[in-house]
Amino acid sequence: MPIAKISPSMLSSDFSSLAAEAHRMVKNGADWLHMDVMDGHFVPNITIDCHLMVSNPEKWVDDFAKAGASMYCFHIEATNEPEALIEKIKKAGMKVGVAIKPKTPIDTVYSLVDKIDMCLVMTVEPGFGGQKFMTDCMPKVKILREKFPELDIEVDGGLALDTIDQAVQAGANVIVAGTSVFKAENPKEVISTFREKVNTLQKS
């Protein structure tokens, strides 16, 4: 099984102090930083991992590579040529993630798994923070883990101490969490607990 990776969502950070917030999360044990990028079209909001919730994701690959992104995660629903986009991302020097919305069938990504580094299964509808975790997305995670045991599988949306067990037991090893980390009195403890749960529950 892939190792646990805890990725605080910067969407829940203090946007007036992004650099300080990023350093705070890394200091408290974050493995990755999750940056949600919205265009006001694919989803209705605009914000600043880079999880691209945008139409025409092909358009932004080079810009994000130049900005220093290490992974470019696009939505399968936003492109008609995912394999060409994957190659473009790789040529730009970034890792590749493919995201799916809650209502998108999991088999839409099967043919791409050998070409990507991560699959993101959204556990809320993309576009807004603070939504309730959707338990009915867990069968997709379970199926994906059974078919592709070495794949990094990320879950994003409503992850907190009361929902983390369901996600991990289904097979997720990359945990995106916003409010539950950034608003915690002790972010380090929350991140450590998430990691421990991934490492413990995946062995059970």
From 14, 36, 114, 117, active-site residue: 36
Supply the DSSP string of 70-106, one letter for each residue.
Answer: SEEEEEGGG-S-HHHHHHHHHHTT-EEEEEE-TTS-G
Residues annotated within a binding site for a divalent metal cation = 34, 36, 51, 156
C-beta of residue 68 within 8 angstroms of C-beta of residue 92? no
Q: State the CB neighbour count (10 A cutoff) for residue 181.
A: 26
d(CA 132, CA 17): 27
**Catalytic option among 117, 156, 162, 165:** 156
User: Which positions make up the binding site?
Assistant: 9, 34, 36, 51, 127-130, 156, 158, 178-179
To the query of whether residue 162 is one of the catalytic residues in this protein, the response is: no
Annotated binding-site residue numbers for substrate:
9, 51, 127-130, 158, 178-179
Concatenated DSSP letters for 102-168?
Answer: TTS-GGGSGGGGGG-SEEEEESS-TT-SSPPP-GGGHHHHHHHHHH-TTSEEEEESS-STTTHHHHH
| Annotated catalytic residue 156 | yes
Tokens linked to 20: 């300080």
Catalytic residues: 36, 156
